[in-house]
Chains A and B, each alone.
Chain A
């Protein structure tokens, strides 16, 4: 998981703690192969579908596989095993089988990998009941969620934004205890609006919210940390107070932001509390271009977050 190296240290720790954990990837650290043996540390051919399928079977029979897919775009190669199998088995067997496994991958970064390999597909997985989806907004939470993911009772997708590595507090990350799935984190407090930011978009949202705070406008900034389960109650109670929602994501509006909004609209009274005061600061509904000349316009920027809050705060005609 070289995009966020500290995760490897956490996983190493977990491999030591739980000998039912096995690791599958197309490249694996030689030190792990030496310490844990090649039975548990499996270097695989570029066979993502077989890797994830084998993880399902291993999970059903008592292991806890962690598969590193490398890029999140590769999750599209393994949809059958993930969706039709991993996510379905517990239901299909009426609880007879579980598939505790973790699939990690990197979402968009500033690496100019282009339209194929710069993607945030977590919104797609929010449509798949049976898969838990974690999208941490800090390196610390990434480590904490990895620790909880390897203790979960079913399949987990853990999506890591490469930008989390920037300025990460490594000591805090390494010592972060597991956090329960479904518990959002309030990163700033205020009544002007509720800003919900996902994964790599947490940092620009923090910056945008800080800029507003410097001008006396304070918002709730909530990082859901896991999208499935989603801490709907934390979001709803904030929104009942602020009545304004700004959704911030590195991916397109039609992905996770739309899913979160629809979950909130299902909460009695919330559509009325929002009264149409909803804004999106997301990637455009287009693939991510390679050239920085275009790619720079596809990120949720702090100024756009601040502008969205101001726009919602204006009294309406």
Chain B
């Protein structure tokens, strides 16, 4: 079967037309390509600030965001390029932001910590745990307005160390907030392995202890993630309250890079195990088995490379902010 379609009809926009594995694969490939390029650009000194690559976890952003509609809100964190792209921010504006330009999503102020009101990406916080109550607030707005919209917040397994996350879990359950917490459980918190600081690695028992509906899913299987997210979203929209989605996954590169790629070393067997379960490869194998033509999948990779190259070209030619921009927007004007 040969499918002749542009995998990125609206540039970076993902998941607006429901879920199918080919589109999901395309979006994951786009994010993967993006992250590879952003790391190169960081090493070259073009990208501003630290880079926390999302490589290995793409299925989670894509599977979840494909379950959302325009009115829903999302909250991300410092490892947020994948969430932003999957939610449909402009790749051009995201890249311009990472390069510190005026026409970036946040005028160059935020670098990776982006927001985009156009797609209800409220924030990408650099403070672990802090975004979770903020997402609960967006869920509160939906509840007050009766809009049926949901709020999704992405957190790492490390986020469960933060007290305010526990406070929010309890509050969201008690108030039946239309909130979905997506916990990307990669078993690491920077250089620290989660089992060093948690009683065990079964994180689902924590939200269950707060009486929240909780599901665990293979975070590298985009279809499984999507199904879990779609159920959680449906429950939230129908007034059944919040869900905690634990998605087991792994960062196959590293936690973070500044000037040079990180020299972080993972246990070889562990890395090999996860590389074998790479979310893109998993989807690729499944698509081939279902009869998708090789050349269609190869075309996805080419289209992703072209799309990312175009975004980089856009960002490189984007203007720098003016010196006077330092102190603009500290205060909001009266509406």
Contact = CB atoms under 8 A, between A and B. Distances in A.
A296 to B, nearest CB: 9
Nearest to A77: B127
Given A49-B163, A297-B326, A116 B113 contact: yes
Given A116-B125, A297-B323, A43 B192 contact: yes
Most chain A CB inside 10 Å of its own CB: which residue of B49, B128, B159, B189: B49
A56 B159 CA distance: 23
Given A27-B192, A44-B161, A297-B326, A74 B109 contact: no
Contacts of B110: 114-115, 290
Given A116-B113, A287-B330, A291-B320, A46 B189 contact: yes
Contacts of A44: 161, 197
B239 interface: no
Most chain B CB inside 10 Å of its own CB: which residue of A111, A113, A284, A292: A113
B48 A291 contact: yes
Give the size range of B's interface with the partner.
35 or more
Q: Is the interface of B mostly helix, strand, loop or mixed?
A: loop
A293 to B, nearest CB: 4
B111 A291 contact: yes
B179 to A, nearest CB: 20
Contacts of A74: 127
B71 interface: no
Given A112-B111, A114-B49, A294-B109, A286 B330 contact: yes
B196 to A, nearest CB: 5
Nearest to A47: B161
B82 interface: no
Interface in B101-126: 101, 104, 107-111, 113, 125-126
Interface in A1-59: 26-27, 43-47, 49-50
A73 interface: yes
Most chain A CB inside 10 Å of its own CB: which residue of B49, B110, B326, B330: B326
A293 B190 contact: no
B18 interface: no
Interface string B120-139: 00000111110000000000
A238 interface: no
A285 B129 contact: no
A180 interface: no
Interface of B: 48-50, 100-101, 104, 107-111, 113, 125-129, 158-163, 189-192, 196-198, 258, 320-321, 323, 325-327, 330
5 contacts: A43-B192, A46-B158, A112-B100, A114-B111, A114-B113
